[in-house]
Amino acid sequence: MGGYAPWNADVAQQLVARLSGLEGAMLPVLHALQEEFGYIDSAAVPLIADALNVSRAEVHGAITFYDDFREGPPPARIIKLCRAEACQALGCESLVAELARSRGIVVDQHGAADLVVETVYCLGNCALGPAALVGDQLIGRLDAPRLMALCDGAAPARVQELPPGAAGRAAP
């Protein structure tokens, strides 16, 4: 995460132009902009509208409909914590409570903090929950100590280095 380029209208224009020939180009364009800049700058809206021959309202509508798209720069670190039923069955809500209790972190609260823990509904790791996603790295059998380590900035892969034989066996 992090390492995004600062907003640049020329780069954005090129990205939009490269993808605008696709059928139904809106989502690919929005994803490409967000991958480049970390969010979709409001200045991108007229560029997209022009290139795709739609109204600015339609672009704004798409950006705001989908949870993934951000309208401002992202925090340095995002932990997506699954709170759907299969992870509920393994106590993900106690992790939410623990975040609040020991770190004062309120899930889904976006402020000035470098770290945001976001709710996600299902990461497809339902047999090895509770699950979280950090960047592109999926984490299974999450428990409070490992979640706190992630909050402290531990690399997900390092968090996965468990004592011998412990992987996949940890009980909640």
Q: How far is the CB of 158 from another protein (least distance, A)?
A: 9
116 has which bridge partners?
A: 78
Residue 126: CB atoms within 10 A of its CB come to 16
Q: Does position 134 bind another protein by CB under 8 A?
A: no
Q: How far is the CB of 128 from another protein (least distance, A)?
A: 6
Q: How far is the CB of 101 from another protein (least distance, A)?
A: 19
Q: Does position 3 bind another protein by CB under 8 A?
A: no
Q: Does position 74 bind another protein by CB under 8 A?
A: no
Closer Cβ to another protein, 28 or 74, answer by number: 28
* Host H or E run for residue 77: strand 77-82
Residue 108 tokens, joined: 């889904």
What is the distance between the alpha carbons of residues 50 and 136, in angstroms, rounded to a whole number?
A: 32
Closest CA to 107 of 92, 119, 123, 93: 119
Q: Does position 6 bind another protein by CB under 8 A?
A: no
Sign of the CA dihedral with 91 first, then 118, 65, and 21 last: negative
Closer Cβ to another protein, 7 or 141, answer by number: 141
Total residues in contact with another protein, by rule CB under 8 A: 58
The pair phi, psi for residue 167, each rounded to 5°, is -60, 135
Q: Does position 14 bind another protein by CB under 8 A?
A: no
3-state SS class at 29 = helix
Q: Which of 86, 99, 105, 147 binds another protein (CB under 8 A)?
A: 86
> Which residues sit at the interface with another protein, rule CB under 8 A?
23-28, 30-31, 52, 54, 58, 61-62, 65-69, 80, 82, 84-90, 120-129, 131, 133, 136-141, 157, 160-169, 171-172
